[in-house]
Structure 1
Amino acid sequence: MNLPNKITLARIFLVPIIMVFLLIRFDFGEIKIAGEVTTYSELIATFIFIVAASTDGLDGYIARKRKLVTNLGKFLDPLADKLLISAALISLVEMQRLDAWIAIVIISREFAVTGLRMVAAAEGFVISASKLGKLKTVTQIIAIVLLMLNNFPFNYIHFPFAQIMVWIAVLMTIISGVDYFIKNKQVIEIKQN
């Protein structure tokens, strides 16, 4: 197994660790930041999430740079991304920091685009990640990190940046999803014939 695939697998293995630190209350203590209580477990989970999210571009970059692109990597990379984001969103719903409908909208879009990619692959087409799709991922990661940190450091000035980023992430999720389907409507039309 090559280095990019190992990095991708590491990201997948970090997903349950993030969930454990977010959802199980370890007695590591807690800190109060501008009136919001954050546990050290949540800080550990946030750090691991940031590390995992930062490997997203790294594995693809190494694979392309060293000509190590494999079918396994093409399968694992988007799976790792979806698992990481979905697990974080579901955990945040459980922690009552995110409305369930928002998680459903984001996760549903991921399933829909993955389904479109599978149909395209069966027809011999490859649907690459778009710039809107990459921007969507960045906004989702920023929103998730801010929610994990109880809007730190913006809670000091009572600015709801986490909620603003959630709304931007939802908007980018919908826009990029619609964009994928519009730009690849020929795949759907071919499948109907």
Structure 2
Amino acid sequence: MFRAGVRASLDPALVTVVGEADDVESAVARVHELRPPVVLLDVHLPGGNGGGGAEVIQRCADVLGEVRFLALSVSDAAEDVVAVIRAGARGYVTKAISGPDLSAAVGQVAGGDAVFSPRLAGFVLDAFGTGAGDVAVHDDELDRLSAREQEVMRLIARGYTYREVASELFISIKTVETHVSAVLRKLQLSSRHELTRWAAQRRLL
């Protein structure tokens, strides 16, 4: 029932569903058989050795360069987020996400970006292993960004969608896109995934 709901919520103009699985074993088999660009993965998928989505990713390590995983869960518990991110997931969203935002998230992960539901930034920091003694903020790098660009950078690095950033800062989505392009260019980064890592290493989230 849940899979049917997710499938119905996805925009067919943006996302093509090529297969489904209802447990760890069948998920691993389907991933190796179909090699989809993105796997939308239930964190608590039953079966296997009880490792859920993280186990699927670990058992598909040989195709991680070809297949990207986006975790989906009702849980925003730290242990769930950290487990799948460390296993190799490129994003983590909760089941409260809307259909349009989920479709957009799949596209972003396919394009190489990292996508996280808002307010999961602390768990992402843990997943990246950033501790209190790690890299300090480099003022010269931050100084390249305007105050507004820094605001946008922090929200994007926390996993906010362009629409959520626009709503938070009361600006248009087009303006958000312009700021993100400027931030990536000034910091010499190529994707949101790199931006999240950059911000996490500097404890800016």
Query: Same fold by TM (over 0.5)?
Result: no
Ranked by relative contact order (alpha carbons within 8 Å, sequence separation 6 or more), the top structure is 1
Q: State the TM-score, normalized to the length of structure 2.
A: 0.29
> Would you tell me which structure has more helix in proportion to its own residues?
1
Q: State the TM-score, normalized to the length of structure 1.
A: 0.30
Find the structure with the greater CA-based Rg: 1
